[in-house]
Structure 1
Amino acid sequence: MHHNQLPAHILQKSSLYLIVLDAKGVIQQLNDCAAAAFQSEHTGVGTDFQELVLDKFQDKLQHILQKVTNGEILLNQRLKFPTKTSKGILTLRLDFSRDGDSIYAMGIDVTQEDKEQQALQAISELGNIAAWYYNPITKELFWSKECYKMHGIDPKDHERDQKGFYNYEAEIQERAKAYLYKLLETKQPYEYIETVQKETSTTYLRITAEPVFHNEEVIFVNGTVADVTERQEYIQKLEYSEETKNLALKGIRSGLFDHDIKSNTVYYSLAFKKMLGLSIKDDFVPEETFRQMIHPDDVDEALQRHLDNLNKDTAYYFNHYRLRHLDGKYRYYEVYGYCKKNEDGSTKRLIGNLIDVNERKLNEQMVEKNQRRMRAMINNGFVYIFLLDTDSKILLTDTASAGIIQGDFGVHPLETTVYFKNVIPLNFKHTFTNSFNEALKGTTTRKEVERVMHQGNSQWLEIKYTPITDTKDEVTSILITALDITERKIAEIAVKEAHVKAQELNSLKTNILANFSHEIRTPLNGIMAISELLLTEEDAEERTKLLAYLKESKDRLLETVNNLSNFSEIEAIKSNLTLTVHDLNYVVESSYREYDHLAQQKAFEYKLILDKSIPKVEIDEQLFRTAFNNIIHNAIKYTHAGGIVVAITSDATRKEATISVKDTGIGIEANNLEKIFDPFMQESIGMTRKYEGTGIGLSLSKRYIEILDGSIEVRSEVAKGSEFIIKLPLHS
C-alpha cells in the first residue's frame, strides 16, 4: 500500500516522518512527528524545506526535488537537519514520490546509527585515525570508539568521559577550548600538535577540526585525533642531526633535504625552508611542489639532469637551476648530493645539500657582460680607443685605430711593440704628454681637441685619460678613449648664434611694443580729453572742430589697432587658408610615421589606431600638420617609459572626428592645465623652451586648430601621463 493510501489519522500519529511539499519545495503539511522536529517560530507550514537542511545537503535536496517533479521515485535518501535537541544533527532516511501537484517525503530517524558513521566519515574526509565531534548548541562533545581506544579507555566504560578529555591537564584543556572557540568565531578549520607528557613517555597528537554550516552558521564541528609520536620523534632526530650539519656548514647559504624516492616525499631542513620561503609548518613537501618553484626556462633541463643522476652508476649527485622565492624573484642554486641505491642499482633515497650561488652567478654574468661591453666599446663605442702601459706602449686598441696606425706608420700595434707617443700627430703630443702624466698620478682628465681631416673638414674629439689601478691603488695602465663630439660642438655654436639672434629679436620686440604703446595711449588720451570738452561746449562751431579732432584721434587709434592685427601671424594665416577635404586617417598616419624613429630610439610602445569608417575633414593640411606634429613631438619628448597611443574616432551623430594622443610621460600639474595653452607657458612653468625658435608651441597649436573650427583639450596626471584631444568637424 502506498503511503498516500494510508488513513490520514495513521499517518498523522505515526512515528514515521511525513512531509508534504509543493512542486517548489515549500512545506504544505507535516505529521505530528515531523512537526515536533521542525515546528518553531521560524519553521513549519509555508517554510521552504530547503532552508531546513544543512548547507552541504541543499544541492542534493534540489536534485531530488527536480527528479521527483519529473515523475521519478527516490528511496533511502539521507538528509541532515540542525536541531536544538540533544541530538544536535537530525539524520532522516526519506523516500520521495509525487502525487498530483504534491511531493511526499516519508521516512525514519537514523541519527543514532549515523553518529558512528558520521565519525568515520570525518576520518575519511580529514584523513586521520580517530574521530570526534562537538555540538555548539547542546555543548555535547562526542568521542568515537577509536578515540577512546587511542587513549587506553574502554569505550563501554561508564566513566569514560572523566577518563578522556577531562582527564587532561588544565593547560591542555584550555588550549583545546581556545582553538575550538576560535573556530566558532572565525568559521575556519584548524590543526595543531599537542604534546602529552606521561610518567615514562611523551605522546604527540595531531588534532584537526572542520566546521559544519547551516545558513552560514557553525552548527557542528567534526574533528580527528591522530597519534603522530613516531613521526615527531623522527623529525626531532632529523632536526638534531641538521643542527650538527649546520654547524659544519656555517657561513654557507645552504639547506639540507632528504628525498624518499618511493613515496615521492621530501623532508626539508629548517634552514632550507627559510632560505626558499617555504612554510615552516610543513614537515614533508611533495617533489612536485618543489619543481613548480624552478624557473620555467630551467625546469626541463633540470629534470633531465635529475633523472640522469638517479639512473647513473655512481652515487654522487649534482644539479643546478634557478628557484622562485615568495617575493617572486629567482635565485641561482647548485645541488650536491648522494644517492642511496637498491640492490638492483636503482636509487631509493637522495640526501643532498642545496647551496645558494646567486651572488657568484651574478658576478660571473657581470664579468661576462662587462667583457661584451668592452669588446663592443672597443669596436663601436668610440672613434679611437687605446689601452697603454705606464710607458705608453699600446696594449689594446680597436680595429679601426690599428688599421690607421698600420697605414700611416707601417706597423700593427697588436702584432709588434708600438708606443702611442710615436704614432700621434705633432700638434697632439704636448696635450698627450700633460694628460698622460696626470693619469699616471691617478687623475682622470678630459680634453677637447680639433682635428683637421684629409678633406679639410674639422673633427672635434673629446679625449679622456682614465688611470687603471691594481688592488694597491697603483696605476698599472692608462685607458685613452676618443669620442666624436663634432655634432655637439656644431650645435653649441648654433646655440650661441641663436642666443645672439634671440637677444636681437627681444630688443626688437621691446622697441615695437614701446612704439605701439605710445601709438595707442596718444589717441586714447585725445579721445578722452575731447569727449570731456564736448560735454560742456555749447558753441556749434567749436563743437564741430572738437568732433573733427575726435575723428582724427579715432582714425589714428583704428590705424594702430589694424597695424597690430596685421602684425599678428595668426591673422595672416587666417587670410591665406587653403581648405581641402582630406582622409583624416591618412593625414594623421603620415605625421605619425614622421616620428616613428624617435619612438624607436626610446624603445617604448608607439601605436596608431585608425578609424575604420575613414572620416573626412575639410582642413588646411599644412596648418593641421604643424599643430598635430607639435603635439606628437611633445609626447615623445616627455615620455621615457611606457608608450604613446594615437587613436582616431568619429561620431556621426555629433558630426565630429576626434584625435587622441595619449602618453605615459611626466604629466602636467593640475594648476597648470588651464595655462598650458597660454603664450610662453613653457617658460613660466620651467619646461624646456623647445618651440620658441620656430614660434610653434602649444599656444599656437591651439590657435591653429581653432582656426580650422576645431578644439583641443588636455587631461593629465603628474607622473602618469597626458592625453591631448583634438576635435574637428566632419565633412558632410
Structure 2
Amino acid sequence: MNESQRLSSLRSLHAVGAQRDATTDAAARLAAHLLDCPIALVTLVDEDIQWFKASIGMDDCSTPRDVSFCTHALGLTANDVMVVEDATQDSRFVDNPLVTGEPHIRFYVGALLTGSDGANYGTLCVIDSQPRPRPDDATLDRLRDLARLVVAELERARAERQRGEQLHMLSMIEGLSGVGHWRVDMVDQAVFWSDEVYKIHDVSPEAFTPDFGTATAFYPEAERKLLNENWQRTLKGAGPFELDMCIRRNDGVVRQVVSKGAAEFAPDGTPLAMFGVFQDVTDQRAAMDVLARSHARFKLLADNAADVIARVQLDGNSNYISPAVERLLGWKPLEMAGRTAESFIHPDDRGRLAETFAQMARGQGSATLEHRLIHRDGRAIWGETRMQLVRNEAGRPVETVVVIRDISRRKALEAQLEQARAEAEAAAAVKAEFLANMSHELRTPLTSIIGFTGLTLEQQLPDLARNYVGRVDNAGRALLCTVNDILDFSKLEAGQVAIRPEPTDIDALARSTLELFTPQAGAKDLDLDLDLATNQASIVADPDRLRQVLLNLIGNAVKFTNQGGVRVAVTWNGVDERLRVAVYDTGDGIAADKLDRLFRRFSQIDGSQTRSHAGTGLGLAICKGLVEAMGGSIGADSIEGQGSVFWFDIPASAAEQQIAAGATPMGGVDVEGLRVLVADDHPANRELARAFLSGMGSVVDDAVDGAEAVERAEFAAYDVILMDMRMPKMGGVEALRQIRAGSGPNRRTPILAYTADAAEGQEAGLSAQGFCGVVSKPVAAEALIRAVSQAVSDASGAVAA
C-alpha cells in the first residue's frame, strides 16, 4: 500500500488529534506493565506529525514525524514488531534529539497498528531510558495482541460513526422522500419504526411503542385482513409483498399508504425478521389523479379538436401530433413519424417556415404564419399555424407547441371578397365617372339657363315676358337644386365631402340665410325670427356646409308651415365649444311613428306632400351626412298638430380673429381692362362668361376646344384663361400642359378650371396639375368675377415676390 492510500485509511478513523479514550489508554498501561517500561504510547503517524492517541509516562501529545521511531516501523510488514535494544548503538537514532535529549530513549519496542485493509496507522510502543535486551517471542506476541485490540477499537469507533452517519443520512432521505422503514424481529416480536413511519402515523416514539397489534390497528378491518394474509405468505417464502392501503392516522385523518415487506430467513429456513418500507402516497396519488384527468382532458380535446395540435422540436421533428391531422392532410400520426414538418409544407412556403423555426430557436416567444400544406393526395390546403415556444428549466428553447387550423374556406372567402372589392372599386370608379359626366351634362346647360335668365331679368321687359322668364328662372334653379341634392348625396356616400373649417361670423351667416326665405314666408304671411344666444361673434366652422344645412332645415320649415312662423335659435357653448342650431316651426307636426323616417334617403313623410311640395327626399339625409362629417349630431322632435323642431350641434371652437363686417359682396373686386380667354365647347357657356366679364369691363376672347385655346395662347397674351375641363379634341388638362410647355406669352398666365364635375375636394388635385383655382358650373356672375380677380391678384403677388 502506498503512502497516499495509508494516509487516506488513517483519516477515515477520525482519530488523529481526537480526544483520548479509556480503551486505548488501558491498552497502553497493559503494554507498559507487560514489558515493565516507564513509557508506553499509542501513536498515529500522518504526513508530518506523530500523534499520541494514548500516552503513559509522557506529557506530550505529539512529536515531529521525522524524529519519531515509529516512522521506521511503518515500513515493516503488517502486524510486525520493531525492537531497538540500545538507540545509542543504532546508526538510525544515534543523533536523534529524543535520544540525545529528553526522554533519552535507549530501549524501544513497537508493535504495528495494522488495519483490516492492511494500512499501518502507527504503533503500540514501550520505551525505557536504559538499554535492554530483546524481549522473548511470547512477550512480543502479547504486545501484538494488544496492538490488534487497539486497531479493533479504532475501527469499531469508525464503524459506529459511519453507521451513525448512515442513519442520519437515511433519516434525511426518509424525510425528503417521505419513505420510512420498519423491522419486526420474529424471535421476540420487537417492532422498530423509523422516524418517518412515526410521522406518517401521526405518533411520536416517546408516546407510542409499536407492536404487531397496535401497528395493524391503524388499518380498516378488510385491509388488516389483507395485510395479515400477505404477511403470512411472505413468511412462508412466497416472496416480498407490496400493498396499497388506507390508514386512519392518530389525528383521525385517512391517508393512502404503500407498504412493502420482505422476510429474512435463517439457513434452515426459519424466518428471523420482516423488514420493509412505508410511504404516505396520498398527495402523490392526488397529483397523479389530477395529472391523469388533465391528460385525459387534453387527449379528449386533442383527439376531437378540429385544429391539429403538435409538439415540434426546433429542428422540425415532431414529438406528438394529434389525430386531427388525418382529417386535415390524410396522414395518420404514426405515418408521419420520422418526417420533418417541412416535408408537409408547400415548397414555396418552406423558407418562411424554416426562418420562423430559426427565430424561435433564437428566443422569439410566439409566431403565427399562413402557408400552404400538401395533402396526401397532392392538393394544396391553406393552413394557419400558431407556434408557442417552450423552454427548459434553464430557460433555453427546446420545442414549440403548434396549433394548425384549416383556413382554406377563409382564404376562398378572402379571394371572393378581394374580387368583390375590386369589382366594387371598379363600379365606384364607373359611378364616379358617371357622376362627373352627369354633372357636366346637367350643369352645363343649367349654366346657360340660369345665367341668361338672370341677365334677361335685368333688362326692361313687358310684365308678361318678365313673368315667363321668371318662371323659367325658378324652374332652372329648382332643377339645379335637384341635381345638387343627388350629386351631394352621392358624394357623401362615396366619402368625398371635404370639411373646411375657417373663421365664420355665425350671426351674419344665420341672418343672411334666414333672409333668403323672406319672399316665401311673406307669401304665406309667416313670421321669421332669429334668436341668437351667443357672445362669440366668430367661430371656426365650415360656413358653406353650415349654410347648406340651414337652407335645408329652414326651407323645409317654411315649406311645411301654413300659419304662424319659423324661429331659428343659435346657441354657442364656450365651455364645451359646441354650436347648437334649432329650427322651430308651427306646422302640422309629425307623427311619432314616422319620426325615424325623416333622415332616410328618398324618404318623405307623406306621398301627398311629395306631390304638393316638390323635392328629391334627400335633403334631410344630406343634412345628416354633412353634420356627421363635421363631427356633430342631428335630430328632430315633434308633437303632431303643434309643430316641430329640427336641431343639430357640432364642435366649433372660438376663432382667434374676427370676420371683417360691412364689406360689400363685390368690394375690392376689379376686372376692368383684363384680357380673358374663355375655352368651352358650349357656345352658351362662352357667351354667358363673356356677358358677365364684359359687363365689368373685361376683354373676352373665346375658344371652342382645348386645341384652339392652345393655338390662341401661343400668339396673344391674356391675364387669365378660363379652361373647361371636358372638351372634344383636347381636354382642359392637356391644353394647360401644352400652354405651360410652349414658348408663347401665357406660360405663366393663371388658368382657372371651368368645370361642372361633381368630385368633392377637386381643388387640390387640379392645383397639383397646375390650375390656380376652380370655377364651378353653373356659375353666378359674382363667383366668376371674383375668381378672375383673385387669380390675377395672386399671380401679381407671386411675380412681385
Normalised-by-shorter TM-score class = under 0.3
Q: Which has the larger radius of gyration?
A: 2
Higher relative contact order (CA 8 A, sep 6+): 2
